[in-house]
Homo-oligomer: A and B are copies of this chain.
Amino acid sequence: MFSPAAATPLGTLTGIGVGPGDPDLITVKALAALQRATVVAYPRGRPGQAGWAEQILGDRIAPHQRRLPLDFPFVTDPAQLQRAWQQAAAQVWTLLAQGQDVVFACEGDLSFYGTFTYLAEALERAHPEVVIHRIPGVCSPMAAVSALGIPLTKQGEKLAVLPALYSLADLEQTLTWAEVVVLLKVGSVYAQVWPVLKKHQLLHRSWVVVRASQPNQEIYRDLDRFPQLDLPYFSLMVIRSA
């Protein structure tokens, strides 16, 4: 019996982390995968802007490569997100089924709060036969402490990463337990976090890094000087209580 599906071998999807912003913080392995790909997918940027991973890759996406921006809307509604992930998966599957190899690029490391996870999970649910490779990358906390010239963790220090702050009690509890705390997306909660750091006498042991490893990187230290800071969304704080 003739089966047209069997005639074309499936393409593979390779997720790559392109690093925190400096284009040369991509790994040799991710760069090679990028250069081999027929199609380069990435999360679409906000209206009128290139996506962040696309900006980091810059002209490393060759003119002959097809660009595939995928919609990962900036919303929190689970149903809307699920629909977007399923739609992105369907777009990628169409290409894989045609035998095209697709690279999906995301900023930082692809497994550390990366959009790649949602695409991969939606694909695996809809098409369990999909072949997915993953190439890890440098994540933003590592780039931030390198910029600060301090360690993230040493010896027996415990590390906690809070991707968003739901309550100040969360932070207080974490500080009793972990020697090192990283707060991602600290911009919107900075003014609430500051009094907690003051109370625990941690203002001189805390740092804020904006756009780590990028040319317009900003660093804030000695935070007792900054009860308020107007920070972009993707800012992070490192607290070293040890």
Contact = CB atoms under 8 A, between A and B. Distances in A.
A117, A146, A164, A174 pick with most chain B CB within 10 angstroms: A146
Interface in A109-148: 109-114, 117-118, 120, 132, 134-139, 142-143, 145-147
Given A32-B24, A146-B111, A117 B160 contact: no
Interface in A142-198: 142-143, 145-147, 149-164, 166, 170, 173-174, 177-178
Nearest to A143: B136
A152 B111 contact: yes
Interface residues of A, number: 57
Contacts of A113: 153-155, 157
A178 B158 contact: no
A27 interface: yes
A39 B123 CA distance: 47
Nearest to A113: B153
B164 A156 contact: yes
A28 interface: yes
A53 to B, nearest CB: 16
Nearest to A112: B152
Contact of A29 (B25, B32, B137): B25
Contacts of A10: none
A231 interface: no
Given A156-B166, A158-B162, A142 B27 contact: no
A31 interface: yes
Interface in A3-27: 17, 19-20, 22-27
Contact of A111 (B109, B151, B162): B151
A196 B159 CA distance: 21
Contacts of A24: 27-29, 32
Given A109-B152, A156-B163, 8 more contacts: A24-B27, A24-B29, A25-B29, A28-B28, A111-B153, A112-B153, A118-B154, A120-B149
